[in-house]
Chain A
Amino acid sequence: MRSDPHVHAAGAALADLVLEKTGVDVARCYQCGKCSAGCPLAAEMDFPPSQIMHLLQLRDLPGFAEMALRSHTIWLCLTCEICYCRCPMELDIPKVMDALRHESLARGMVHPKAKDILAFHRAFLDSVRVTGRLFEMGQVVDYKLRSGHFLQDLLQAPWMFWVGKLHLLPERVRDRRALKRIFAKTRRVGEKRP
């Protein structure tokens, strides 16, 4: 059963929180490493997926589970699902990654290198909140403002515009109020502008 994701017992082990939110029992992981072996970004990660699971398994050793929340890994995970697909214990690791991201945001433990990724996600959702749909042009501008990467893809935009892929005006949902209400009711954790 899922409960309100923003409420959890203080002092509970992170593994318990993960179990409560995702139904995944990290104790079942026996560290075979198949997830890390198949992960497309394992080489880029500070802790490949199997190690994230092991950090959570060290539930009562101070500091270890927190390393998972502070990891770069959780932001690099692409949710490509290959780990879950091949896991012999059928552990939904991508779901665990989601839960860790939420917790990392809530506790303000986001890895510094994840700044750009986070900025992109926030710009994306901002766009959806305003128009109900993704306004790619608007999002890119927003992302540039958030990330400070003003020059990135500068040459891409005119080409996209030229081939008709980039619209200057957003497409909109008619009932935008309904969307706003959804966003209002789903308060995102750590929703503060950096």
Chain B
Amino acid sequence: MKTGFYPGCSMKGSAREYSESLLAVAGALGRTLPEVPDWNCCGATAAHNLDPDLALALPARILAAAENVGMEEVLVPCAACYSRLKVTRHELLEDEQLRQRISGLVEADYRGSTEVLNILEWLSRVPELEKHVKKPFQRKVACYYGCLLVRPAGIVKFDRPEDPQTMDLLMRKLGAEPIDWAFKTECCGAGFSVSRTDLVAKLSGHILEDAVSRGAEAMIVACPMCHLNLDMRRPNIEKRAGKKISIPVIYITQALGLAMGLPAKKLGLHRHKVAVKISAANAAAKDI
């Protein structure tokens, strides 16, 4: 199975540590992740808000590029990009006329053979993941899925849309104790990070408060946008809540890296706004 890798724009910038930790983990697991050649931005929220054709054309170009080099699937760690690629694939395969029109627009033919994979699907496939764990991640964690990993359920067909379990299972394999909480799939404010920071502060605030009130020691995420809102927007969240909220927000790949004993620096933990004051093993809990 030839698996390609679509990093997406944020993993080259504001979510750099997600990319770093993913590549570090993949390396340690003995897997290579070749990037989709000359990939472009998926268009994100902006494209589908403003232009329906562009919203399909940009992802179609990516999928066609991957298909052309024989990638049977593409790992898309960013949940937002994943959603755009997955939805595009679905729509193009549902409607042959549309597929031909969009293929014409992007001057490349996507035939539908390349599948789209999210980070949780990719990690779940690693056989005997627990055997790679050197320092069990013995923490109470809140697994936060956000919106786009599980919805729209009919298209992504991944886990159940209410109370999903895939990430919880993965974290349990790493030695963590996932809490049962109520905001697993509530929206963080997504693309409003810059334009409506006030709303992000409110929505992300609710999420963090619920996790903290149930004793979570870390938020585990699989989306740069969620991370941006929960981590970098922490000052706005705290200001709105009128209190300090110090729970760190960790990418699942970082959590895995820590459990595998990879150095924190290699996992980009120093790039977070909210200091990650926990390490994997409880016993070795030291500030990083």
Contacts and interface: CB of A to CB of B under 8 A. Distances in A.
A126 to B, nearest CB: 9
Interface in A149-190: 152-153, 156, 159-160, 163-167, 171, 173-175, 178-179, 181-183, 185-186, 188-189
* B contacts with A: majority SS: helix
Nearest to A156: B232
Contact of A121 (B16, B50, B97): B50
B43 interface: yes
Contacts of B16: 164-165
B58 A85 contact: no
Contacts, number: 168
B123 interface: no
Contacts of B51: 102, 125, 186, 188-189
Interface in A62-103: 76, 78-82, 84-85, 90, 92, 94, 98-99, 101-102
A128 B38 contact: no
Interface string B180-219: 0000011101111011110100010000000000000000
Contacts of B105: 182, 185-186
A80 B58 contact: no
Contacts of A122: 46, 50
B190 A79 contact: yes
Given A132-B41, A173-B39, A84 B151 contact: yes
Nearest to B233: A156
Contacts of B106: 178, 182
A134 B10 CA distance: 8
B54 interface: yes
Contacts of B270: 163
Given A134-B10, A134-B41, A78 B190 contact: yes
A47 interface: no
B214 to A, nearest CB: 20
B40 A133 contact: yes
Interface in A23-51: 40-41, 44
A160 B12 contact: no
Contacts of A193: none
B199 A117 contact: no
Interface string B144-178: 00011001111000000100000000000000000
Nearest to A41: B199
19 contacts: A78-B190, A78-B191, A80-B147, A85-B151, A98-B48, A98-B52, A121-B49, A121-B50, A128-B46, A133-B39, A134-B10, A136-B10, A156-B232, A166-B13, A171-B12, A186-B51, A186-B54, A188-B50, A188-B51
Can you list the 7 inter-chain pairs with the closest CB atoms, starting with the nearest?
A: A134-B9, A81-B151, A80-B187, A121-B46, A120-B195, A124-B46, A80-B147
